[in-house]
Amino acid sequence: MPPEAERALRADAARNVKRLLDAARAVFAEQGPDAPLEAIAERAGVGTRTLYRHFPHKEALVRTALRQTVTERLPPILYRIPDFDPRSAILVVMEAVLAIVERERSVLAAAANPAALTAEIIEPALGPLAELTVRAQAAGTIRGDVTGDDVARVLGLLTNVLWVVPEGDDGWRRYLVLVFDAFGPGAATPLPPP
């Protein structure tokens, strides 16, 4: 096969994958987590064989959609964090992760194990959160007995709030602020050892 034809096939496949991922988000949002994959293929304008060629099962489609969102949305925020003071940067990163989980709520609901996939969404933020925690402690803006692991676990807890507030409500932001204030150094009850 000539290189031009091979590139055209790859470009066509990439377009099909993008259409399938966009369609999956729309169909899961409209029809719920049990939406048939055939409806996704139809919405994307491709055959079911094309869908299964790229995604042999629903979980593969869900994981790819989530990975795409994290890859597109989280790095720009992580690259910007040096511009913030460390405490504010922690809040920005936590808010960004929660916004991704909120945006992908319908897709997550379609997963066999949404909690495991939520952990995968959080994972790229763990290193930056740990580093920011140390920097914020050095600056005296976060209590000294909080660890980066504590921040990550609190973020994991907050993802559960998304399942009890109405979709698109942004009510989770209230709980983020409430919990984030617990990281402040003033009048804090000492924590048990980690």
pLDDT of residue 80: 84
pLDDT 10s digits, 68-105? 999 999 998 888 887 789 999 999 999 999 999 999 99
Tell me how far apart the alpha carbons of residues 35 and 13 are, in angstroms, rounded to a whole number: 23
- How many other CB atoms are found less than 10 A from the CB of residue 93? 25
Q: Give the closest residue to 117 by CA, choosing from 56, 55, 66, 60.
A: 66
- How many other CB atoms are found less than 10 A from the CB of residue 42? 15
pTM score, two decimals? Answer: 0.85
Q: Which residue has the higher pLDDT, 79 or 149?
A: 149
pLDDT 10s digits, 8-61? 558 888 899 999 999 999 999 999 999 999 999 999 999 999 999 999 999 999
Residue 107 carries which side chain, given as an amino acid letter?
V
